[in-house]
Chains A and B, each alone.
Chain A
Amino acid sequence: MSGTHLHVLHVHGHSPVHRLAPEVKVVAMLAFVVGVVATPREALWAFAIHAFFLVAVISFAELPFGFVFRRMMIEVPFVAFAVALPFLGGGPRIEVAGVLVSLEGLWGAWNILAKGTLGVGASVVLVATTEIPEILRGLDRLRVPRLLTSVAGFMIRYIEVLASELRRTRTAMASRGHDARWLWQVGPLAASAGALFVRSYERGERVYQAMLSRGYDGTMPQLDERRARGTEWAAALGLPLTTWMVALLAIVGS
């Protein structure tokens, strides 16, 4: 159980973005998203600049654009909501391509699409260039309560274990002809969820005993104490600072 197996999220590479210290990348990503969200939606030019920077970082990190795009599909349900907004919104209506739509709804849809897409893009870049244990270590160094990061660390280690347990259960069910299509056929699935809980809890008890016998005292030892250098901070924070400047200009200008 060394490390996680969520490699699908990660793109192996040696770009400058990959090599940055994780805490620096986390701060840069958060600051970028805050800057984007703070930008007034009417400042179209500002979003063009934000998008340009995001695309620049993606290519600088040598990430395949197709990969980033596929990972960004996660926001699809809310994109659908955004598409409905112009038709449901209140206030004055304008005619676009022969259909009366709400101006306010149109702006709202734009706001969600632009900010949501940039936000998702930024987190995809973070995870694609940083291994998950690295991110957690970065959060640790940023003084996020150790309790939370270690719970998240255990969660990530267990996800793969439980997911494969669930996969085996489902394979077994499918090979016995289980193909539920209606809500009243939900019984076996729910039973498998219950069985998954009992099994994983009992496994957790065993793992916990093993951990105790190896000296676990409530915290995981820190092995890597490399701290981010000032140059790294300067290099990585240039971008979000620019984002904030752009957002500020847009706020003043509007």
Chain B
Amino acid sequence: MHIPDGFISAPVSAGAALPALGSLVAALARASRTLKERLVPFAGLTAAFIFVLQMLNFPVAAGTSGHLIGGALAAILLGPWMGIVAVSVVVIVQALLFADGGITALGLNVLNMAVITVGVAWPVFRLLSRLLPQRSAGVLIASMVAAWASVPASAIGFAIEYWIGGQGGVDPGLVFSAMVGVHALIGIGEGLITAAAIGAVLAVRPDLVAGAEGLGISADDTTTPSRVALGSFVAAGVAVAVALVVFVAPFANPNPDGLERVAENTGFLDTAQDHPIGGPLADYGVAGIDNPWIGTAVAGLIGTGITFAAGMLLVGIVRRFRQREQVPASR
């Protein structure tokens, strides 16, 4: 999710640079208070860790893959301040050296990927890890939910930025529901892999997990979330994604025909009307016209599904390409 140059208007991009810079400066000040002269090497190390982690593809379905944003993982491992510093440096280096994300969009990208992800993941994690039983399983579930929440939150940030200063005049409600819906799905992967990675560190060096500080977890506490917990996490993630698209989209939409237009363009409404003609389902087909709300919701769902699949495919292709480009050949 690296915004390129020219995507969001210049004033909004410049405006976003202020809170981004402010958060980064504050995070640097807070982080150097605890780490002192160790700050620089260890922040560099974690930034490299996040960068390399973003090269680690995790499977999604049928061989397609996604990759981690890493904001939540960084926050839980390092605490919120170091987390913001590390992910910000990753985003800045990616823009300057890897041409990944626009130079003028740097403020937006730091805001979305470092400040918002950490800013959402850390409070959620703190709250849940206090509420849940203070064992390794509780920490893992807390990090799973926190990491999940950070991904749609980042997408909400993007949708708001697009609403204020986006190019192309796409209906803001449409952008909101599509982006947030898709990212609610992507977040499931982020949640699972973040929790598993935290679990792997907890099992060996619980002292390295800043988020588990004060919970008294030792290396021999290897309780993990049950299958039921994992299953309900995935189900809840999917449910939220679906709910966002079906319920929020038509209402959050100041121009209610936005999703229908997608539907018309992509032909979903046509098929929804044509297919059941004469059959027992004819009423539903008509409902698609009489009741635009259902038509919109269905179209939105299908649209989200297709966007998700297309996005995954594209990201997979690009990542494969980038891995060849970025990772130097083995020596």
Contacts and interface: CB of A to CB of B under 8 A. Distances in A.
Interface of A: 5-9, 29-30, 33-34, 36-38, 41, 70-78, 80, 82, 85-91, 102, 104-105, 107-109, 111-112, 114-116, 118-120, 122-124, 126-127, 132, 135, 145, 147-148, 150-164, 166-167, 180-183, 185-187, 189-198, 200-202, 204, 207-208, 211, 216-219
B47 A76 contact: no
A13 B201 CA distance: 44
B294 interface: no
Interface string B146-169: 000000000000000000001111
In this complex, the interface size class of chain B, counting residues with CB under 8 Å from chain A, is 35 or more
Contacts of B38: 208
6 contacts: A30-B103, A82-B168, A88-B261, A119-B6, A183-B61, A207-B41
B52 A159 contact: yes
Contacts of A6: 97, 326, 328
B170 A90 contact: yes
A74 B192 contact: no
Interface stretch (B117-125, B269-277, B279-287, B314-322): B314-322
A36 to B, nearest CB: 7
Contacts, number: 304
B302 interface: no
A197 B38 CA distance: 17
Contacts of A185: 59
A174 to B, nearest CB: 13
Given A115-B5, A118-B5, A124-B99, 16 more contacts: A5-B328, A9-B326, A76-B314, A85-B170, A87-B265, A88-B261, A108-B169, A112-B168, A150-B40, A151-B43, A153-B44, A180-B59, A183-B59, A186-B196, A193-B68, A197-B197
A194 B328 contact: no
A123 B100 CA distance: 9
Contacts of A160: 328
Majority DSSP secondary structure for residues of B touching A:
helix
A88 B102 CA distance: 23
Given A88-B265, A186-B58, A74 B99 contact: yes
Nearest to A103: B169
A154 B50 CA distance: 13
A123 B96 CA distance: 7
Contacts of A198: 200-201, 204-205, 208
B93 A152 contact: yes
B33 to A, nearest CB: 13
A91 B203 CA distance: 56
Contact of B42 (A29, A116, A148, A204): A204
Contacts of B62: 181-182
A120 B47 contact: no
Contacts of A75: 4, 99
B99 A72 contact: yes
A154 B265 contact: no
A8 B6 contact: no
B40 A119 contact: no
Interface of B: 2-7, 10, 13, 28, 32, 36-45, 47-49, 51-53, 55-56, 58-63, 68, 73, 77, 85, 89-90, 92-93, 95-100, 102-104, 166-171, 174, 188-189, 192-201, 203-205, 208, 255, 258, 261-262, 265, 310-311, 314-315, 317-318, 321-322, 325-328, 330
Contact of A112 (B6, B43, B99, B100): B6
Nearest to A185: B59
Majority DSSP secondary structure for residues of A touching B:
helix
B48 A37 contact: no
Contact of A195 (B195, B200, B325, B328): B200
Contact of B168 (A5, A108, A183): A108
A75 B92 CA distance: 16
B103 A151 contact: no
Contacts of B97: 6, 9, 123, 127, 132, 135, 156
A187 B326 CA distance: 25
Given A193-B193, A194-B201, A37 B255 contact: no
Contacts of A89: 168-170
A193 B200 contact: yes
